[in-house]
C-alpha cells in the first residue's frame, strides 16, 4: 500500500470502528432514555394544554424541541462518521488509479480525512459546546469534503482511462 | 490466475464470502427499503397525522386521557417507521463494509483460517443486527430483564458490538501489513470502461450529495427546527382556544414541515449512498462474468436509478405520491442492476471453481 492508501484505509476503518462503538454505547446508555424524554415532553405539552396550563405546555414543548435536536445531532454524528469512513476506505482502494502525483494524492486524502473527522465532531459538539465552535468545525469539515471531492472529480476527468474490457 | 481472479478463488474464501455476502446484503437492504417506502412509510404518515389531530382535538375538550392515549399510539407508529428505516440503513451499511473488507483481505496480516472465521462471523452478525432492529417494535419489553431495553434491542446491541470488534481486528491486521514491506501487486483491480463510468458517475453523485447536504444544513435545517417548535405552540394555543379551523391549518403545516424535513435528509443521504455504491461497484466489474454490453446496461441502470431516486424523493414536496412512485421505480432499477452484477459475480466464482476442479 502507498502512503496515501495507508492514510485513507486505516483512517476510514478507524472511523467506522469508532462510529460502531459509539453506536453501541449510544444505543445502550442514551438512546432509549432520550426517545422516552422526547415522547414524554411532547405528550406532556399537549396534556398540560388540555388541563389549561399553557405556560407549562410551552415549557414542555421547549424541552421536546431541545431533546429532539440533541437526538438528531447524536444520530447524525454516528451516521456521518460511518458513511464518511466507508468513503475513505473506498477512496483508498482507487486513489492510486486516478491521481499520479503523490503530493496531490496526499493533499486530497488529508482534506478528506480532516472533513470526515471534523463534520461528525461538529454535529456531536453542537449539543455540548456553545456556538460558534461546533458550527466552525462542521463548516470546515464540509468544506474539506467538498473540496476533496472536487479534486477527485477533476483528477478523474483528466485521467487516461485504461480499457481492460 | 491473475490478481483479480485470486480474490474470488475458492482458496481465498474470506474475500469470496465478503464479496458475495456484501452484495447480497446491499440487494436485501435495497429491496427492504423499497418495500418500506411503499407499504409502511406513506400509510404511516396518515396514521401519525390522525393521532396528532386526535390529541389536538382532545385539548379543546380538556380530555387529558385522550391526549395520552393518542400519544401512546403516535409513539408506536413512530417506533414502527423508525426501526424499519434503521433496518434498511444498517443492512446496506454493513453490506458496504463487507464489500470493502473483501478487497482488503489480501493485505490483512492474519491466519487464513482466522480470516474465514471472521468473515463468517461478520456476515452472521450483519444479518442478526438488522433482523434484531426490525424485531424491536414487535418484541417490545416482553420478558426483558431491563426497564427500557427489550431482548431485540439487546441482540442488536451485542451484534453491533461484535461487528465493531471484527472491524478492529481487521484494522489491527492491516496495521501489521502497513508496517511491513510494501507489496508490489495493486490493492484493487485495474478499471475497465464500465469501471470508469461507474467511478465517475458515483463521484459526481457523492459531490452533489455533499453540496445538497451543505445547503440543507446551512440554509434549511435550523429554520425547520425553529418552525417545528413554533407550529407546535400554535397547535396547542389554537386547540386550547377551540379554534378548530386554525388548528387544522397548523396541523397541516406541521405535517408539511415534517415531510419537507424527511425528504430533504433522505435526498441527501440517498445521493451520497448511491454515489458510494456506484464507486464500489466499479471495483467489482472485473469479477462480473457478463458480456460488456450487459455490464454497460447494468451500470447505466444503476447510475440512472441512483440519480433519479434522490431527485424524485425531494420532488415529493410538490408532487406527493406521484414523485414517491417514481422514486420507488428508480429504487427498483438499482436493485435490478445490483442483482445482475451479483449474478455475474456468482457466474465468475462458478467458472473459477470449474477450472480448479478440471486442473
Tens digit of each residue's pLDDT (9 = 90 or more) over B57-97: 999 999 999 999 999 999 999 999 999 999 999 999 999 99
- CB pairs below 8 Å between A and B: how many? 193
pLDDT band (50, 70, 90) for residue B37: confident
CA distance B13 to B6: 10
C-alpha cell at B196: 470508469
**Nearest Cα to B18, choosing from B88, B123, B114?**
B123
Pick the residue from chain A with its C-alpha nearest to B129: A24
**What's the complex ipTM?**
0.93
C-alpha cell at B285: 466489474
φ, ψ at A75 (rounded to 5°): -70, -40
Collect all residues of chain A within an 8 Å Cβ-Cβ radius of residue B272. 83, 87
pLDDT given at position B12: 73
For cell 445521493, name the residue. Answer: B271
pLDDT given at position A153: 94
Digit-coded pLDDT (tens) for A5-48? 999 999 999 999 999 999 999 999 999 999 999 999 999 999 99
Helix A54-98 crosses helix A133-157 at what angle (to 10 degrees)? 30
Question: What are B301-304's contacts with CB under 8 Å, separation 24+?
Answer: B301/B333, B301/B334, B301/B336, B301/B337, B301/B340, B302/B198, B302/B274, B302/B277, B302/B278, B302/B333, B302/B334, B302/B337, B302/B338, B303/B197, B303/B198, B303/B201, B303/B202, B303/B205, B303/B278, B304/B330, B304/B333
φ, ψ at B68 (rounded to 5°): -65, -35
Inter-chain touch B67–A23, beta carbons under 8 Å: no
Is the pLDDT at B315 greater than 80? The verdict is yes
pLDDT given at position B359: 58
Of B93, B156, B178, the CB nearest to A10: B178
**Nearest Cα to B126, choosing from B21, B269, B19?**
B21
**Nearest Cα to B205, choosing from B58, B287, B303, B106?**
B303
pTM higher than the cut 0.90: yes
Inter-chain touch B283–A28, beta carbons under 8 Å: no
CA distance B311 to B313: 5
Pick the residue from chain A with its C-alpha nearest to B232: A61
User: What SS3 state is found at B291?
Assistant: coil
CA distance B163 to A84: 18
Give chain B's mean pLDDT: 91
Burial class (CB in 10 A: 0-12, 13-18, 19+), B73: middle
Give chain A's mean pLDDT: 92
Is the pLDDT at B243 greater than 60? The verdict is yes
Of B55, B153, B272, the CB nearest to A83: B272
Inter-chain touch B171–A13, beta carbons under 8 Å: yes
Inter-chain touch B236–A54, beta carbons under 8 Å: yes
Collect all residues of chain B within an 8 Å Cβ-Cβ radius of residue A93. 100, 103, 187-188, 283
Q: Best of B51, B54, B59, B106 to disrupt the A interface by mutation (most A CBs within 10 Å)?
A: B59
Digit-coded pLDDT (tens) for B140-196? 989 888 888 899 999 999 999 999 999 999 999 999 887 766 666 677 777 889 999
Amino acid at each position: 500500500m502507498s502512503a496515501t492508501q495507508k492514510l485513507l484505509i486505516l483512517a476510514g476503518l478507524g472511523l467506522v470502528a469508532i462510529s460502531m462503538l459509539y453506536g453501541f454505547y449510544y444505543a445502550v446508555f442514551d438512546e432509549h432514555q432520550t426517545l422516552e424524554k422526547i415522547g414524554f415532553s411532547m405528550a406532556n405539552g399537549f396534556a398540560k394544554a388540555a388541563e389549561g396550563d399553557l405556560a407549562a405546555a410551552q415549557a414542555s414543548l421547549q424541552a421536546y424541541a431541545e431533546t429532539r435536536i440533541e437526538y438528531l445531532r447524536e444520530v447524525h454524528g454516528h451516521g456521518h462518521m460511518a458513511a464518511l469512513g466507508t468513503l475513505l476506505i473506498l477512496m483508498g482502494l482507487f486513489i492510486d488509479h486516478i491521481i499520479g502525483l503523490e503530493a496531490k494524492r496526499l493533499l486530497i486524502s488529508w482534506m478528506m480525512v480532516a472533513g470526515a473527522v471534523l463534520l461528525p465532531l461538529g454535529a456531536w459538539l453542537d449539543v455540548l459546546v456553545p456556538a460558534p465552535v461546533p458550527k466552525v468545525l462542521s463548516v470546515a469539515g464540509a468544506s474539506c469534503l467538498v473540496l476533496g471531492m472536487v479534486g477527485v472529480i477533476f483528477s478523474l476527468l483528466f485521467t487516461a482511462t485504461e480499457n481492460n474490457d | 490466475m491473475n490478481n483479480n481472479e485470486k480474490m474470488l478463488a475458492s482458496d481465498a474464501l474470506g474475500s469470496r464470502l465478503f464479496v458475495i455476502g456484501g452484495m447480497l446484503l446491499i440487494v436485501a437492504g435495497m429491496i427492504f427499503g423499497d418495500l418500506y417506502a411503499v407499504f409502511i412509510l406513506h400509510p404511516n404518515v396518515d396514521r401519525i397525522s390522525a393521532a396528532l389531530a386526535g390529541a389536538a382535538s382532545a385539548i379543546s375538550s380538556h380530555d387529558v386521557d385522550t391526549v395520552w392515549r393518542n400519544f401512546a399510539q403516535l409513539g408506536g407508529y413512530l417506533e414502527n417507521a423508525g426501526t424499519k428505516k434503521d433496518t434498511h440503513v444498517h443492512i446496506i451499511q454493513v453490506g458496504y463494509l463487507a464489500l470493502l473488507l473483501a478487497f482488503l483481505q489480501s493485505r490483512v496480516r492474519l491466519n487464513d483460517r482466522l480470516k474465514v472465521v471472521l468473515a463468517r462471523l461478520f456476515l452472521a452478525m450483519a444479518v442478526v443486527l438488522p433482523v434484531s432492529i426490525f424485531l424491536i417494535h414487535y418484541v417490545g419489553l416482553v420478558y426483558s430483564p431491563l426497564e427500557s431495553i427489550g431482548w431485540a434491542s439487546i441482540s442488536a446491541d451485542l451484534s453491533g458490538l461484535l461487528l465493531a470488534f471484527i472491524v478492529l481486528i481487521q484494522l489491527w491486521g492491516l496495521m501489521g501489513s502497513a508496517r511491513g514491506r510494501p507489496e508490489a501487486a495493486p490493492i484493487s483491480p485495474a478499471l475497465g470502461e464500465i469501471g470508469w463510468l461507474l467511478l465517475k458517475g458515483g463521484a459526481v453523485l457523492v459531490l452533489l450529495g455533499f453540496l445538497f447536504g451543505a445547503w440543507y444544513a446551512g440554509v434549511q435545517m435550523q429554520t425547520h427546527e425553529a418552525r417545528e417548535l413554533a407550529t407546535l405552540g400554535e397547535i396547542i394555543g389554537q386547540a386550547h382556544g377551540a379554534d378548530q379551523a386554525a388548528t387544522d391549518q397548523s396541523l397541516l403545516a406541521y405535517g408539511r414541515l415534517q415531510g419537507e424535513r424527511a425528504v430533504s435528509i433522505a435526498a441527501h443521504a440517498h445521493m451520497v449512498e448511491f454515489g458510494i455504491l456506484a464507486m464500489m461497484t466499479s471495483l467489482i466489474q472485473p469479477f462480473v462474468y457478463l458480456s460488456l454490453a450487459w455490464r454497460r446496461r447494468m451500470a447505466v441502470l444503476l447510475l440512472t436509478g441512483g440519480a433519479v431516486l434522490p431527485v424524485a424523493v425531494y420532488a415529493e414536496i410538490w408532487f406527493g405520491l406521484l414523485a414517491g412512485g417514481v422514486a420507488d421505480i428508480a429504487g427498483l432499477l438499482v436493485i435490478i442492476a445490483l442483482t445482475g452484477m451479483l449474478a455475474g459475480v456468482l457466474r465468475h466464482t462458478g467458472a473459477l471453481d470449474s477450472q480448479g476442479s478440471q486442473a
